[in-house]
Chain A
């Protein structure tokens, strides 16, 4: 079963590039939206394995999204994309529960490796939770 990724970025060009790269020979299924307001609904309608989101967006920024997403699915890894020079905010995002952040501009491989690690982390978290239950 292919992993389902949700990508949120208010800039349609960036969204399309991300989708192209994340689907290119990766086997991931990628859904996108430029509208952070509908992220909660999308997550409720269908389970996703990971969310990639821009940090700086109008109305609902990545920081707000972390909270919204964590409420719906506390285990879902969130990868934040930040602009160059906003390191502090990125660190804050990680403190709030984002799995990791990457800084624009970045190499394609960087995001692929980050996603792969995040998915592995999620798998481990799940296994851990299962073990604890036993």
Chain B
């Protein structure tokens, strides 16, 4: 504001350097916010990997931070350009609002009928009828497995009930007023609210729908149970919802309200007390099934969760209704069945089951004593056991994950399935030693070690004795070493497993291996003596075993757990927010599409604003009324399109369109250029023809050659004074900023370097960022890597040291440009890193054909 005021009234008085300095202040603030925005986006993208835990507060904080940075960018750009892009404000605001809506959005309840027959349900209907009923529908309708007849009372019915009865408002008010200071008062509120729900009238249309649905079951008893919508309710407030067995269909309205009331447990009340109560959030569906008058029932796991490697189905069974098997009131029969073809029953333990839960003729259930003969007989015949096991395997295959299944057997011996849900299989302890079970597919070569990274993998043994070996490790190797070697990070993307004779799951190598998900065992005594180079072995890191040859059983079933995490609402929220923030649609500044009005994401705005701010700063835009005074271009042999803005004392000359390197006085700029001119550096533009052939080898590359080559001629900008340098360059998708001050006063000196971007997938970009950070770290910088963004800072080094480091940063930039071209493969990155560390900046190994000649 001040600037504009001054300009209007004192235009003549403002001297040119002062005007430029003001402009530069806006420019720098824009750059700072640009870096902040990119960093925040990188941080959020990283969280999407599934390796992190974060909560709603994190999403809110980061979304706000990002929104603020982008708003600042827009504001500074408009200050810099005399309000040339006012439309960006509205676009930015719109994206902010969209993200805000995503942050607060609750899953909405699908509009459906109040009652849906089981025969119409599949797993896709979970949002309406809850996972329990949706899965049951899937089993009956898609897999044609036997399930009882029944129907679901939907989430839509729940919403209707709460709204029409006035309960929603009433509960919100009660919850707000309730005094809760201990468990007792909480439970009192819970009881009070449950009573309110039971007493509330059902709206006539819902009552009619329930009556209609109940008609089909006249005279047939029902089992009525909750089917929570959204796993969270099921999960957090689980096990406490009521299940009503053997009830009359005519009294369905009362039973329905009873189940809905059971939702308001003390845990649920605690949750709602501090949230705004809404009928939309955590709704409840109810399942009604024809009661199976069970002779026997039980639970089965398609894979024994405590001994997954035994590869068996585990079945438990009791007499009568299944409740006693589920809650453990009676110790059940236990059967184990091999999952191998033939389904051999491998063990059976017949327990004494003195009582059974049975339906009472007048409704409800009672406990019946059994005679000793029945109590001690097995509940299932061998055929029934195998039949059940076959069903368990079919369900596991269909749902893609081991299952926890409830079943019942009626008087005629027919099997019914009542529920199937995912089973969490606990494989041995993280970082634990040997596991108790001793199942071994073949005699192992080694049977000890500590699991640092779980999983199983096979490959040829490579004995790693010296760090120099790292370059010789072939892809797919099982690396066997005496000691942990962090250097292995260079090949972690292409090796299959690591074994070391000493080490710890918490050492540096193990942490890196975990990031790359390379199965790793440490403390495997004798590994280097027992295993021979070239030998094929299978490593089972979970069990701390190494087997000769390929053991396919181990290599096959490795369920990927991430799915579970990724389906969490908080992850999905992040994914949706990122969709609005990070995709980059404005790629090419030369394209006519590169316009403010075409910005659709925050990333687009940052990209656009950065480009336009440089144009404005250096007055390169023809339409710009500000005269390009003070801005010069550098005449140089380097393949750089470099613009220089001297804020004072940076150049020997002034007012010239072109300057030469000899005209430069700025100490930091001179140092940087010395790095660019390092005799060994071959600039990427000159390298490209050779590399094209090299790159074509990598068929899967996402790298866009066209874009990259265009980038080679891209603009770079330097703002200088005698002691100061701000250097900006953008290369294709890459983006780097260097900011440095060099003087006799050590305390004032600093170098700040930022690098971000790349055309490759997030994972690959992050690996590169880490490699760059290792190099910078080596140079003495404090480095921070966030996702694919590297920020490095060095302060208070002497004039000479700072200048020398700047020179090396110049060298690194030049080097990195070549890297950019070759980055289609991790292997190349690793070799480049090695090369830089060994002061070989020529990258001649990238051109094998040339170097051999």
Contacts and interface: CB of A to CB of B under 8 A. Distances in A.
B565 A84 contact: no
Interface residues of A, number: 41
Interface stretch (A8-16, A72-80, A92-100): A8-16
Interface in B267-296: 267, 270-271, 273-274
B55 A84 contact: no
Interface residues of B, number: 48
B267 A116 contact: no
B808 to A, nearest CB: 31
B235 A109 contact: no
A2 interface: yes
Contacts of A109: 51, 511, 514
B186 A105 contact: no
Given A25-B561, A33-B267, A104 B431 contact: no
Nearest to B57: A83
Given A25-B454, A34-B236, A17 B53 contact: yes
B568 A16 contact: yes
A112 to B, nearest CB: 5
A35 B272 CA distance: 11
B111 interface: no
A111 B53 contact: yes
Given A16-B568, A84-B61, A106 B542 contact: no
B53 A112 contact: no
Interface string B220-248: 00000000000111011100000000000
A72 to B, nearest CB: 14
A105 B53 contact: yes
B181 interface: yes
A17 B177 CA distance: 31
A35 B231 CA distance: 18
A37 B185 CA distance: 10
B568 A84 contact: no
Contacts of B271: 10, 12, 34-35
Contacts of A116: 430-431
Interface in A53-83: 58-59, 83
B430 A17 contact: no
Contacts of A47: none
B55 A12 contact: no
A114 B505 CA distance: 12
A20 B61 CA distance: 24
A23 B426 contact: yes
Interface string A109-127: 1011100100000000000
A37 B273 CA distance: 13
Contact of A58 (B273, B511, B565, B569): B273
Contacts of A15: 235-236
B340 to A, nearest CB: 23
Given A34-B267, A116-B431, A13 B55 contact: yes
Nearest to A37: B183
A108 B570 contact: no
A12 B232 contact: yes
A20 B561 contact: yes
Contact of A105 (B58, B511, B569): B58
Contacts of A45: none
Contacts of B61: 84
A13 to B, nearest CB: 4
B113 interface: no
A26 interface: yes
Interface string A16-30: 111111011111100
B143 to A, nearest CB: 26
Given A20-B564, A38-B183, A113-B506, A13 B270 contact: no
A27 B432 contact: yes
A33 B542 CA distance: 30
B424 A23 contact: yes
B514 A28 contact: no
Interface in B539-573: 542, 561, 564-565, 568-570
Nearest to B230: A12
Contacts of B565: 17, 20-21
Given A35-B267, A35-B270, A18 B53 contact: yes
A29 to B, nearest CB: 8
B5 interface: no
Given A18-B53, A116-B430, A13 B569 contact: yes
B545 to A, nearest CB: 16
A92 to B, nearest CB: 20
Contact of A107 (B51, B182, B235, B266): B51
Contact of A108 (B52, B56, B58): B52
Contacts of A38: 183, 266-267
A8 to B, nearest CB: 11
A108 B53 contact: yes
A15 B431 CA distance: 23
B235 A25 contact: no
B50 to A, nearest CB: 8
Contacts of A2: 426
A19 to B, nearest CB: 7
Interface string B561-594: 1001100111000000000000000000000000
B47 A14 contact: no
A105 B183 contact: no
B9 interface: no
Contact of B56 (A13, A18, A28, A59): A13
Contacts of A108: 51-53
Nearest to A56: B57
Contact of B568 (A17, A24, A28, A41): A17
Nearest to A32: B236
A26 to B, nearest CB: 5
Given A19-B235, A26-B429, A26-B430, A14 B183 contact: no
Given A13-B569, A17-B53, A37-B270, A25 B542 contact: yes
A27 B236 contact: no
Tell me which of B53, B232, B233, B542 has the highest count of chain A C-beta atoms within 10 A of its own C-beta.
B53
Interface in B51-89: 51-58, 61
Interface in B407-422: none
Given A34-B271, A111-B53, A41 B183 contact: yes
Nearest to A36: B270
B180 interface: yes
B52 A11 contact: no
A21 B561 CA distance: 9
B455 to A, nearest CB: 9
B457 to A, nearest CB: 15
B428 interface: yes
Given A108-B51, A108-B53, A16 B428 contact: no
Interface string B416-450: 00000000111111111000000000000000000
A84 B274 CA distance: 21
Contacts of B273: 58
B235 A59 contact: no
A28 B168 CA distance: 39
Given A10-B274, A13-B232, A113-B506, A104 B430 contact: no
Contacts of B182: 37
B52 A28 contact: no
A16 B236 contact: yes
Interface in B480-531: 505-506, 511, 514
Interface of A: 2, 10-21, 23-28, 32-35, 37-38, 40-41, 58-59, 83-84, 104-109, 111-113, 116
Given A19-B235, A26-B429, A116-B430, 7 more contacts: A2-B426, A17-B568, A28-B426, A35-B186, A40-B183, A58-B274, A105-B55
Across chains A and B, which 7 residue pairs bring their CB atoms closest together, nearest first?
A105-B54, A27-B429, A12-B236, A35-B270, A25-B427, A12-B232, A58-B274
23 contacts: A10-B270, A11-B55, A12-B233, A13-B56, A13-B570, A19-B235, A20-B424, A25-B427, A26-B426, A26-B429, A28-B429, A34-B236, A34-B270, A35-B186, A58-B274, A59-B270, A83-B57, A104-B55, A104-B58, A105-B55, A106-B53, A109-B514, A116-B431
